[in-house]
Amino acid sequence: MKLRKIALGTLVTVALAAALGWFSLDKETRGLLAALPTNRDILFWSQSQRDAAFRALDRLPVLAKARVVRAGATPSPLPPGPPLALPIDVDAYMAGQRSAALLVVHEGRLRLERYGLDFDRNGRWTSFSVAKSITSTLVGAAIRDGYIKSMDDKVSDYIAPMKGSAYDDVSIRQLLTMTSGVRWNEDYADPNSDVARFNNHQPEEGVDAIVSYLRRLPREAPAGTRWHYSTGETNLVGILVGQATGKPLAEYLSEKIWVPAGMEQQATWILSRTGKEISGCCIQAATRDFARFGLFILNGARAGGAAIVPEGWLAEATGKRVAIDQPGRGYGYQWWTYDDGSFAARGIFGQGIFIDPRRKLVIASNADWGGGASDRRAGQSRDAFYRAVQQALDDEAVGGGRPPR
């Protein structure tokens, strides 16, 4: 009887400790544990697993390890502006996008801020390929700082293990415009595609995982002659910047952008199996800070009165450098471009930062698209929303007596 009482007491103690431990966790971590994915292949998680994980991808080291991007002590202001009158039902739009966050900033003032999926301004959502445009900006910073000599330097000048591979004669400029000519499969629905397989690749000892994977790929076209979207190449850009600067990307991002641009919260950057930031993906940040990054770019990548990139570099980066077989569209240095002069960072499942310099407009959005990674209908709806905001601002300008932009 005594042993039974001891056993029962022990079980009660363990149960209470487990309950206290559970409730001591933040709601995002509890949600992730409740819908914990059984594998590391994020492209093939269920919608409920994605909903839980996208806001907490950096919480459990067993799922993904991350490095902190430190923020400064003084956030840059995002003052409220008058509510934006839009000719669409914003709630219906967000429901169709399965939107977690939607922010519209015009002339530095917050004109619209809405949240969904039980997300809020204090949470961090993963960026997916929005990180590509941030990584590109770090290339410009490394050139300005003298770590990288030229956009026409070869990849193998900075990453010695790429010598003898198909990337040996590829330039940094060709990496940033995704015109290397090296074979790559970016099919998010194919478990055997390169984009699905590279992060699980077992590298040779002492070689970074993405370098080990990419240096085995064959050439399909002469470098500089064909645009072909490749997340692997942005990951290689990140390795190159890290090699050139001698700093982890998260540290360099904090130094060049997150602190001087006045981000409100620290961010995190997911690491590969060899401990390097996956630079084509996976920066966890507050949506307000993604909007601040958009404002930073809108203002010429300037902080404290000085640009962090060389003169003229940002205009090249955000302008059409190559055609992508879509009317009115193009690709710059890891930015998607529109012929009206606007440009965007885009990530799968609905992440985005849209920037329109002419209208002094930034739109930041996070989502978990119901149709999957590259939901064509949701993408078209998002572009239509961008146009609706532009039209609303033009109508305001006319109504206020100012000429339309």
Q: How many CA atoms lie within 13 A of 61 on its CB side?
A: 3
- 102 with 237, same domain: the answer is yes
Q: Is residue 256 assigned to a domain?
A: yes
With 90 as the cut, is the pLDDT of residue 405 above it?
A: no
Phi/psi at 15 (5° precision): -65, -45
Kindly state whether residue 61 falls inside one of the protein's structural domains. no
Q: Are residues 144 and 16 in the same domain?
A: no
- Residues 224, 339, single domain; the answer is yes
Helix (H) or strand (E) segment spanning residue 341: none
For residues 10 and 118, state if they share a domain: no
> CA-CA distance, 106 to 111, in Å (whole number)?
7
The least confident of 55-59, 302-306, 324-328, 354-358 is 302-306
What is residue 16's predicted lDDT score, i.e. its pLDDT?
Answer: 41
Same domain, 152 and 14: no
Give me the amino acid identity at 395.
D
Q: What percent of the chain has pLDDT over 90?
A: 81
Residue 58 included in any domain? no
Give pLDDT, residue 298.
Answer: 98
User: 159: which residues sit within 8 A by CB, 6+ positions away?
Assistant: 211, 236, 239, 240, 243
137 in the same domain as 6: no
Question: At 99, which helix (H) or strand (E)?
Answer: strand 99-106
* Model pTM score: 0.91
Residues 6+ apart with CB under 8 A from 209: 198, 199, 201, 203, 272, 273, 274, 276
Check whether residue 169 and residue 195 sit in a common domain.
yes
pLDDT confidence band for 22 (50 / 70 / 90): very low
**For the chain, first and last CA: distance in Å?**
85
Residue range 82-140, pLDDT digits in tens: 999 999 999 999 999 999 999 999 999 999 999 999 999 999 999 999 999 999 999 99
Domain that holds residue 22: 2-53
